[in-house]
Chain A
Amino acid sequence: MSETLEAPAMRTTEAPPIVEARGVSRRFAKTLDFAAKLARRLGVKVREEVVHAVDGVDLAIRRGEVVGLVGESGCGKSTLGRMIAGILPPSDGVILSHGRDLRSLDGPEARRVKLATQMIFQDPYASLNPRLKVEEIVGEAPLVHGLARRSELAAYVDEQLRRAGLDPALKKRYPHQFSGGQRQRIGIARALAVQPDFLVCDEAVAALDVSIQAQILNLFMKLRKELDLTYLFISHDLGVVEHLSDRVVIMYLGRVVEEAPAEEVFRSPNHPYTQALLAEVPRIDARKRSFAGVQGEIPSPLNPPSGCHFHPRCPHAMERCKLERPALKAIAPGRRSACHLNDLA
């Protein structure tokens, strides 16, 4: 176990982005029901409730990178991940996958670009069809997309399963016959069966026990090295993100608040929210410490605070923070932060 699974080489600056989000927003509106529409016609003030799940996010992921996307529940990290994976269209903005705008593509080309990005989901119990055998789950997509011929399919599936650390002898079984960790391996084998180069992992280890989580994290790192994969790793667990990522993006209420190389952000966080978040993470090497807790609740994304979303909980909030949305600005090479305090320095 002496070999390190470090990145093949940190190609952070020169490599072109494999996926890029430009000014991406996503709104979810709760449409009014009949009674509410009627009430509105009668002059009662009711309006549609709109959640700004993701609000004007720019993000570029370069080939070969592992980007960790961190935030608390409701911050829009899963929505952003789904848009980047191409399974949810943005309300505004553009997603460029392999340099191409996903919306402008159709036909075989769209299929090819979309196949190159695959997603791994949190819940290994809900993301596998319970009525299909493992070999069908893993083999269906490569067959449909012509990546494997029917005559070679069995061998192809075996290879995928073996790579994900599963015994091919188990391929006639159904998902319910597997444990959580093994199911997550099936999900990984399924994603890799269409030969993607970019994986979006949405809380992929959150539902697993610690010892199983370690196995899956090791598998992710091994596959990255073997297949030269790029990851967007979405997680609320800062320990996992720190362990795995080259670069970390932190979101709060639909916006990116900070973006930096992993080492730097954990050593010297810039944004007050990042600082608070890191201070609260329990660490196995921090003994009998006293917890303080960030003041206040996470506001509802239905009605986010004005200006900087974090200002009601921020210990450094100024008048300006209530009025003006801070822009995500470069504060050092490779580091961006959205905080008005950086203008004071």
Chain B
Amino acid sequence: MTPPTLEVRNLRTHFFTRAGVVKAVDDVSFTVERGKVLGLVGESGSGKTVTGFSILGLVDPPGRITGGQILFKGTDLATLSEAQMRDLRGNRIAMIFQDPMMTLNPVLRIDTQMIETVLAHARVSRAEARQRARDALGQVGIPSPEERLAAYPHQFSGGMRQRVAIAIALLHKPDLIIADEPTTALDVTIQGQILAEAQKLCTQYGTALIWITHDLSVVAGLADDIAVMYAGKVAESGPVSEVLDAPLHPYTRGLIGSVPSRNHRGAPLSQIPGMTPSLLNLPPGCAFRARCPRAEARCAEPPPFAEYLPGRHARCIHPHLAEVAAA
């Protein structure tokens, strides 16, 4: 049996700041199979972006991966040298950022940037590299790619820039793409176009995709599996449909209730009281307990990340199992 494209086991990334240790990612585990989409969901500060950066080995000091394993097609990325990592980044694993200008250099033409990316990992002629760049632009739906190659990033609209960033991520047909809120800044109709490209990618090339977002609705439509993060930990994970229909963790439940939906127009949303805790010097035990309607004394103990149902994990000692059975 071939190993999954990515397997993250008990990943911990901590930031050692002067004010104390920030446990941005603290015991995160998930698996992404070939051609599948994992939706990594969470609110601001839940550690979803740092998880993405950790996989790529892009965590800067004072941050450091302090524990766990990241297995890419069975290889532990921690055992690789920096040169081997560099060979992997942009080649086998690519990242798409929320702001495409993080990928694009504003003073270089698109063709310069794309050819550079091709030549960084492939021994091909410049003409061949240009050809590949043009094909990639066409693939993501940029009209007249030949002319657009000669343009500068500022000559593109926001949606088009994001497409260029995706085209660059596609150049080497990577095995894994980590997309960090790539459609958050875009309009609905443009977001639809980008999501359509993402779906095509997974089915055509078997690319595995980690889609980091705060938007449960996007994950519902796009992903196969979901991992909900809260305060640096995965609160719940499992197949999208099952988790969204009958969540186990009270936080997931609260989050879903917070999304306005057409079923209860005008009715009050079931809000989660309070706000997300600061990650600095987080007390032990369940981080959600101060906001949780089910909290009890035992919640001061760290809850285990247990498999309550086949393929469904939750970090909670009193999951909503009765509701799952009823659903």
Interface set of A (CB-CB < 8 Å, partner B): 1, 3-7, 72-73, 179, 181-182, 209-215, 217-218, 221, 236, 238-240, 242-244, 262-263, 266, 276-277, 279-294, 297-298
Q: Given contacts A5-B268, A218-B269, A287-B240, are A236 and B188 in contact (CB under 8 A)? A: yes
Q: Check A242 against B260 for contact (C-beta < 8 Å).
A: yes
Q: How many angstroms from the CA of A179 to the CA of B195 in the assembled complex?
A: 31
Interface segment, one of B75-83, B117-125, B212-220: B212-220
Main secondary structure of the interface of B (DSSP, over half): helix
Q: Tell me whether B258 is interfacial, beta carbon within 8 Å.
A: yes
Q: How many angstroms from the CA of A187 to the CA of B4 in the assembled complex?
A: 49
Q: Tell me whether B221 is interfacial, beta carbon within 8 Å.
A: yes
Give the residue of A211, A266, A279 whose beta carbon is less than 8 angstroms from that of B262: A266
Given contacts A215-B271, A218-B271, A280-B189, 10 further A-B contacts (CB under 8 A): A209-B43, A209-B44, A243-B269, A281-B217, A283-B220, A285-B220, A285-B261, A287-B240, A289-B221, A291-B222
Q: Check B254 against A288 for contact (C-beta < 8 Å).
A: no
Q: Check A214 against B157 for contact (C-beta < 8 Å).
A: no
Number of interface residues of B (CB under 8 A): 50
Q: Given contacts A179-B275, A239-B259, A291-B196, are A72 and B188 in contact (CB under 8 A)? A: yes
Q: Tell me whether B112 is interfacial, beta carbon within 8 Å.
A: no
Chain B residues near A238 (CB-CB < 8 A): 188
In the complex, the chain B residue whose C-beta lies closest to that of A180 is B44
Most chain-A CB neighbours within 10 Å: which of B199, B256, B269? B269
Q: Check A281 against B261 for contact (C-beta < 8 Å).
A: no
* Interface 1/0 per residue, B168-193 and A, CB below 8 Å: 00000000000000000001111111
Q: Tell me whether B281 is interfacial, beta carbon within 8 Å.
A: no
Q: Tell me whether B160 is interfacial, beta carbon within 8 Å.
A: yes
Chain B residues near A212 (CB-CB < 8 A): 43, 275
Q: Check A262 against B265 for contact (C-beta < 8 Å).
A: yes
Chain B residues near A284 (CB-CB < 8 A): 216-217, 220, 244, 256, 259, 261
Chain B residues near A182 (CB-CB < 8 A): 275
Q: Check B265 against A243 for contact (C-beta < 8 Å).
A: yes
Q: Tell me whether B284 is interfacial, beta carbon within 8 Å.
A: no
Q: How many angstroms from the CA of A221 to the CA of B269 in the assembled complex?
A: 10
Q: Tell me whether B66 is interfacial, beta carbon within 8 Å.
A: no
Chain A residues near B218 (CB-CB < 8 A): 282
Give the residue of B188, B193, B244, B272 whose beta carbon is less than 8 angstroms from that of A211: B272
Q: Tell me whether B257 is interfacial, beta carbon within 8 Å.
A: yes
Q: Check B216 against A210 for contact (C-beta < 8 Å).
A: yes
Q: Given contacts A73-B187, A181-B275, A293-B196, are A283 and B224 in contact (CB under 8 A)? A: no
Within 8 A of A (CB), among B233-267: 240-241, 244, 254-263, 265-267
In the complex, the chain A residue whose C-beta lies closest to that of B218 is A282
Q: How near does chain B come to A134, taking the closest CB pair, in angstroms?
A: 17
Give the residue of B44, B217, B258 whose beta carbon is less than 8 angstroms from that of A214: B258
Within 8 A of A (CB), among B269-319: 269-273, 275-276
In the complex, the chain B residue whose C-beta lies closest to that of A1 is B268
Q: How many angstroms from the CA of A293 to the CA of B200 in the assembled complex?
A: 13
Give the residue of A209, A217, A218, A293 whose beta carbon is less than 8 angstroms from that of B189: A293
Q: Check A297 against B270 for contact (C-beta < 8 Å).
A: no
Q: How near does chain B come to A56, taking the closest CB pair, in angstroms?
A: 23
Q: Tell me whether B232 is interfacial, beta carbon within 8 Å.
A: no
19 residue pairs bridging A and B, Cβ less than 8 Å apart: A4-B268, A6-B266, A72-B187, A209-B276, A210-B216, A211-B276, A213-B258, A221-B266, A242-B262, A279-B192, A282-B195, A282-B220, A282-B221, A286-B217, A286-B220, A287-B220, A288-B240, A290-B199, A291-B193
